[in-house]
Amino acid sequence: MAGAPLDILYRGPLASCNYACPYCPFAKRRDSRETLRRDAEQLARFVDWAGGQTQRSLGILFTPWGEALIRPAYRSAMAALSRMPHVRRVAAQTNLSWPTGWLDGCDPERVAFWCTFHPGETPLDRFLGRCAELDARGISYSVGIVGKREHFDALAALRQRLRPEIYLWVNAYRDEGATYYGPDELALLRAVDPLFDLNRTGIRSRGRACATGESVVSVDGDGEVRRCHVVPARIGNLYDPDFDAALKPRPCPLAQCRCHIGYAHMPHLGFRELFGPGLLERALPHPAATLNAGGATGPAGRARRSSSATQSATPSAAMRSTPS
Ligand code: SF4
Ligand code: SF4
């Protein structure tokens, strides 16, 4: 392949969801018929564009504001993308609330999911049933939860009932400030997720290398490209024939990076090597081994040493770490 590999974080205008999680700033939002029509049209254009990129390897992660996979357009898009030989991965953040029959039309080797369990919205058994359907198809996925105190029982049950090979991540709950967790709670969360501290504290990122803007980009429904979801500066448009000229190394301009979608692409953390092909869906291949190695020398230890010790109480909407 002639072109350099590119990973795309796609987020169209769709912002509605069938759940109403109290910790989600977009809960209960409704999309108008016009918004859904425009979103589907823009998605179709993106899939067409991807189909023409046969000279490079593409990774795609759908990171919608709401739940995209309750919409047939996104299911068709993922199925079509997964069957394109040059698309090495097509993943989506999702609440896994949908029937799974459409997955039969996907290439199971290349479709993948970043799944979040929301205890107030769906029974654990139903969620685990969907995970079992992914397992039966050999599809890669991760499972996560928002680390609210009220979710700790669900977290324990998930860890007990998910296959040990499935990475169970915890997104730090930030709405109640930096002192929300006590020492015992931190120990509990670290025991489940070897990378929890990194998510809780974020990474001091200003001036550091980050692959976004070079081999990873954030794309909206109009094709407007930004380096990542939280740096607002536009760097070009995906549908511009000369777009590749905009891709170049850029140090991070922000003080802190606080979401896996972003810091996963900071080379000094080594996430590309650690996660391997599961990077986009956040699927750590050997979570137990990572946990055991998380002391002085392992990747989790490296990540911990790289994180700053600061934490702000209220993430911006764009930086929310509780997608779907
Ligand atoms: S905010 Fe994060 S993802 Fe964005 S440029 Fe900085 S380090 Fe990279
Ligand atoms: S957190 Fe996810 S599942 Fe919950 S309301 Fe928001 S978008 Fe929907």
Contact at 8 Å (CB) between 301 and 238? no
pLDDT for res 291:
60
138-172 pLDDT per residue, tens: 999 999 999 999 999 999 999 999 999 999 999 99
pLDDT band for 293, please (50, 70, 90 cuts).
low
DSSP letters, 255-317, are SEE-SHHHHTT-GGGTHHHHHGGGTTTT--S-HHHHHHTTTTTSHHHHHHHHB-S---S---S
Backbone angles phi, psi at 35, to 5 degrees: -65, -45
Tell me which residue of 63, 64, 62, 111 sits closest to 88, measured CA to CA: 111
| Stronger pLDDT, 24 or 123, i.e. the higher one | 123
pLDDT for res 2:
63
pLDDT for res 315:
30
Q: Which ligand is nearest to the CA of 260?
A: 1
101-119 pLDDT per residue, tens: 999 999 999 999 999 999 9
pLDDT for res 73:
98
Q: Taking the domains of the chain in order of start, what are their residue ranges?
A: 6-306
- From atom 4 of ligand 1, which residue's Cα is the shortest distance away? 228
pLDDT band for 234, please (50, 70, 90 cuts).
very high
Q: Which ligand is nearest to the CA of 268?
A: 1
Torsion sign (Cα): 268, 116, 254, 200 = negative
* Cβ-Cβ contacts under 8 Å for 254 (sequence gap 6 or more): 205, 206, 230, 231
pLDDT band for 1, please (50, 70, 90 cuts).
low
Q: Which helix (H) or strand (E) holds 204?
A: strand 203-204
pLDDT (average), residues 132-141: 98
Q: Would you call 207 exposed, middle or buried from its count of C-beta atoms within 10 A (0-12, 13-18, 19+)?
A: exposed
Residue 319 has pLDDT above 80, yes or no: no
Secondary-structure class of domain 6-306 per CATH: alpha beta
Q: How far apart are CA 166 and CA 261, in angstroms?
A: 18
Q: Which residues line ligand 2 (CB under 6 A)?
A: 17, 19-21, 24, 26-27, 66-67, 95, 118, 322-324
- From atom 6 of ligand 2, which residue's Cα is the shortest distance away? 24
CA 33 to chain centroid: 27
Q: How far apart are CA 281 and CA 231, in angstroms?
A: 21
pLDDT for res 288:
73
pLDDT for res 296:
33
pLDDT (average), residues 222-244: 97
Q: How far is the CA of 292 from the centre of ligand 2 (A)?
A: 32
| Stronger pLDDT, 291 or 82, i.e. the higher one | 82
Residue 184 has pLDDT above 90, yes or no: yes
Q: How far apart are CA 94 and CA 153, in angstroms?
A: 21
pLDDT band for 37, please (50, 70, 90 cuts).
very high
243-259 pLDDT per residue, tens: 999 999 999 999 999 99
Residue 300 has pLDDT above 60, yes or no: no
Contact at 8 Å (CB) between 139 and 112? yes
Q: Which ligand is nearest to the CA of 254?
A: 1
Residue 83 has pLDDT above 80, yes or no: yes
Residue 308 has pLDDT above 80, yes or no: no
Q: How far apart are CA 108 and CA 103, in angstroms?
A: 8
| Stronger pLDDT, 99 or 1, i.e. the higher one | 99
Residue 318 has pLDDT above 60, yes or no: no
Tell me which residue of 158, 185, 157 sits closest to 173, measured CA to CA: 185
- From atom 1 of ligand 1, which residue's Cα is the shortest distance away? 257
Average pLDDT in the chain: 90
Percent of the chain exceeding pLDDT 90 equals: 82
Q: Which atom of ligand 1 is nearest to the CA of 212?
A: 8
Q: Which atom of ligand 2 is nearest to the CA of 64?
A: 7
Residue 307 has pLDDT above 60, yes or no: no
pLDDT for res 177:
86
pLDDT (average), residues 179-189: 96
Residue 178 has pLDDT above 90, yes or no: no
Q: Which atom of ligand 1 is nearest to the CA of 231?
A: 4
Q: Which amino acid is at 5?
A: P
Backbone angles phi, psi at 313, to 5 degrees: -80, -30
pLDDT for res 286:
80
As beta bridge partners, residue 141 has 113
Q: Which helix (H) or strand (E) holds 181?
A: none
